[in-house]
């Protein structure tokens, strides 16, 4: 064995076998540094890159993540980490630690998008029309990387870390379905992250309170009477009615909402007619609406339906409005967990590398977890302009800066282990059960 390999082995043994997880302030800070140092070692970093690329080559849409789920289970089996499967069709929930309270969860979403990848590289998507264009392949790789490190600490953990591999974040409400299984009913806190091209690599960004908006979608079919375009008097024009509806919907925000209460209504779909000289029988429009409070969100929903149905009546048309389930709640970060995150991140990357993230009108189904359990969601920086101008998520030219993977794995690990140390509660005597039966 060469000198370099001996040095690496001694470092790993020193950090992860000789030393237990420390509970004093200096020890906690050092734990965060140790996790990051270890995550940067080829044993973890190169392994995560390999996992991420395998998932990227085989993207699967929501509730269809069968191969991704199998890959996750195979890796957990190799680590001797017990898990439950299936959870919400393709989801996997793993357990590291005592199997007893307190329980703290770490979440990664698994699904891809219906996009044709435009990036030409060795690990391009092999599935036509499907692509990991939102970083979920990286999310899974980082959580597995954290699992690999945490399993080395399993005998030192003072509680149980729950690994949540979630299906169908992209519109399917997979988080909601996982909660409905009851698998997370005794979890006391949950953490999630998202890679971001808006945040420089090596930095993290978040905030206490609302960080992402509540989100809903609607479809409306506006029906009139078709006819010849040269004889509009014999028709009831649904295109004209729909056009006026769209203009009126924009006034819900500009004239009915408090200017200090951020809201959005956008019509992104308009389908009607197929010929230059024919007035169609019907038109379909659809869109999204967003708000940062439940009250504002429900008010928008009510007014969208009223405006559509009443406005088309002015033009002698009829309308049916359908709202698409599930609605995503506001993603709001727990204030105590925000302090916890700041402490962990400060010790790991330095206070100067923690950004305050202003609220964004995007939505995340992590919001279902954070609504049911004290939750915390943060953004992990990937931006590195020396590697070219980054494309936004949901772009066919989206790429992941794999240099950021060790930061995500280390933050997952440190957030969970330090939570178990710092947030110990008075636990009653539990009857003897098999591992993680409490969940």
Residue pLDDT, tens place only, 156-191: 998 999 999 999 999 899 999 999 999 999 999 999
Instruction: Work out the number of other CB atoms within 10 angstroms of the CB of residue 288.
Output: 18
pLDDT of residue 10: 44
Round to the nearest angstrom and report the end-to-end CA distance of the chain.
45
pLDDT of residue 436: 46
Strand partners, 97: 160
Calculate the dihedral angle through the C-alpha atoms of 3, 6, 12, 17, rounding to the nearest 10 degrees. Answer: -150
pLDDT of residue 47: 98
Residue with tokens 């924009």: 250
Strand pairing class (187-200; 103-109)? parallel
Q: Which sign, positive or negative, has the C-alpha torsion 390, 394, 400, 404?
A: positive
* Sequence-distant (≥ 6) Cβ neighbours of residue 388 within 8 angstroms: none
Confidence at 386, pLDDT banded by 50, 70, 90: confident
pLDDT of residue 43: 95
Instruction: Work out the number of other CB atoms within 10 angstroms of the CB of residue 346.
Output: 15
Calculate what percentage of the chain has a pLDDT beyond 70: 90
pLDDT of residue 27: 58
Q: What is the pTM of this model?
A: 0.89
DSSP state of 130: -
Q: Peptide bond preceding 326: is omega within 30 degrees of 0, i.e. cis?
A: yes
Both structure tokens of 32: 């965060």
pLDDT of residue 153: 87
């Amino acid at each position: 064995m060469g000198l370099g390999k001996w040095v690496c082995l001694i470092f790993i043994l020193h950090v992860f076998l000789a030393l237990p997880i420390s509970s004093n302030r200096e020890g906690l800070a050092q734990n965060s540094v140790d996790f990051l140092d270890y995550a940067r070692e080829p044993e973890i970093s190169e392994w995560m890159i390999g996992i991420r690329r395998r998932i990227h080559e085989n993207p699967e849409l929501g509730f269809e993540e069968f191969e991704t789920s199998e890959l996750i289970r195979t890796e957990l089996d190799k680590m001797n980490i017990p898990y439950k499967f299936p959870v919400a069709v393709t989801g996997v929930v793993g357990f590291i630690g005592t199997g007893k309270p307190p329980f703290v969860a770490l979440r990664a979403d698994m699904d891809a998008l219906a996009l044709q990848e435009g990036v030409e590289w060795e690990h391009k998507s092999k599935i036509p029309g499907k692509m990991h264009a939102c970083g979920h392949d990286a999310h899974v790789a980082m959580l597995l990387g954290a699992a690999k490190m945490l399993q080395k600490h399993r005998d030192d953990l003072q509680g149980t870390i729950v690994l949540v591999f979630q299906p169908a974040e992209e519109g399917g409400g997979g988080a909601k379905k996982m909660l409905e299984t009851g698998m997370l009913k005794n979890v006391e806190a949950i953490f999630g992250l998202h890679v971001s091209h808006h945040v420089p690599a090596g930095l993290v960004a978040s905030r206490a309170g609302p960080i992402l908006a509540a989100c809903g979608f609607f479809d409306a079919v506006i029906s009139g009477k078709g006819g010849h375009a040269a004889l509009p008097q014999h028709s009831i024009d649904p295109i004209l009615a729909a056009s006026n509806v769209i203009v009126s919907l924009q006034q819900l925000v500009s004239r009915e909402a408090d200017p200090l209460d951020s809201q959005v209504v956008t019509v992104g779909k308009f389908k009607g007619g197929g010929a230059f000289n024919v007035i169609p029988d019907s038109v379909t429009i659809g869109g999204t609406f967003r708000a940062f409070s439940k009250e504002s969100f429900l008010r928008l929903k009510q007014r969208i339906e009223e405006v559509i149905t009443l406005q088309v009546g002015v033009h002698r048309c009829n309308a049916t409005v359908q709202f698409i389930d599930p609605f995503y709640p506001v993603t709001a970060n727990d204030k105590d967990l925000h302090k916890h995150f700041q402490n962990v991140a400060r010790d790991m990357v330095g206070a100067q590398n923690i950004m305050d993230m202003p609220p964004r009108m995007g939505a995340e189904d992590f919001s279902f977890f954070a609504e049911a359990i004290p939750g915390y969601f943060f953004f992990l920086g990937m931006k590195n302009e020396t590697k070219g101008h980054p494309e936004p998520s949901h772009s066919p030219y989206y790429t992941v800066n794999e240099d950021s993977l060790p930061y995500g794995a280390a933050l997952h690990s440190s957030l969970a282990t330090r939570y178990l140390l710092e947030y110990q509660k008075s636990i009653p005597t539990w009857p003897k059960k098999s591992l993680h039966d409490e969940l």
